[in-house]
Amino acid sequence: MILKIVGIIAAVLVIGAVVFAKSKGVSPLSWKMHKAISQKNKVAIGGFDPVNYFKNGTAKEGSTNFTYSWKDAKWHFINQSHLDTFKEAPQQYEPQFGGWCAFAVSKGFTATPDPNAWLIHEGKLYLFADEGVKEQWAEQLPEVLESCTKKWNY
């Protein structure tokens, strides 16, 4: 009887953990439950303009008036020029590791990023869950970047 109760409790805890992780965009990369691009309501990186990080050095939310579909996600831009720039070379402007938090990826997980916590390193855009993890990640370059790449390509 006790083993049955323990089994039921364990099953509830596992199911609860999976549901919580999915709602927060957190899951082990090895589960392969994540989308190729971090998105909410099929909009990449919270609707922020990926080109703006490079062109203006700021995080800025794009407009639904300037939308482009790529990699099963909608990308928003602040103007037609940024949309056109992205269309010409999306790989140059897309965030690394699908826009998931780079720190989480270095640990083998996905986590939903805060588009305001970002870093451009060697011409590539990285997003983070918050400024604290961004600082931790940046302090450990290049080792952490190597870890990200290995775990992302697992």
Within-domain flag for 12 = no
Residue 146 scores a pLDDT above 60? yes
**Is residue 83 within 8 Å of residue 68, measured between CB atoms?**
yes
Within-domain flag for 4 = no
- Output the 3-class SS for 23-72: HHCCEEHHHCCCCCCCEECCEEHHHECHHHHHHCCCCCECEEEEEEEECC
Whether the pTM exceeds 0.85: the reply is: no
**Cα-flanking dihedrals φ and ψ of residue 109, to 5°?**
-130, 165
pLDDT tens, residue by residue, 7-26:
566 555 555 445 555 555 56
Within-domain flag for 21 = no
Higher local confidence (pLDDT), 130 or 39? 130
Within-domain flag for 59 = yes
Residue 112 scores a pLDDT above 90? yes
Domain span at residue 97 reads 26-152
Based on the structure, what is the number of domains in the chain? 1
Within-domain flag for 128 = yes
Within-domain flag for 100 = yes
pLDDT averaged over every residue in the chain:
87
pLDDT tens, residue by residue, 76-109:
999 999 999 999 999 999 999 999 999 999 999 9
Within-domain flag for 144 = yes
Neighbours of 2 (CB within 10 A): 6
Within-domain flag for 7 = no
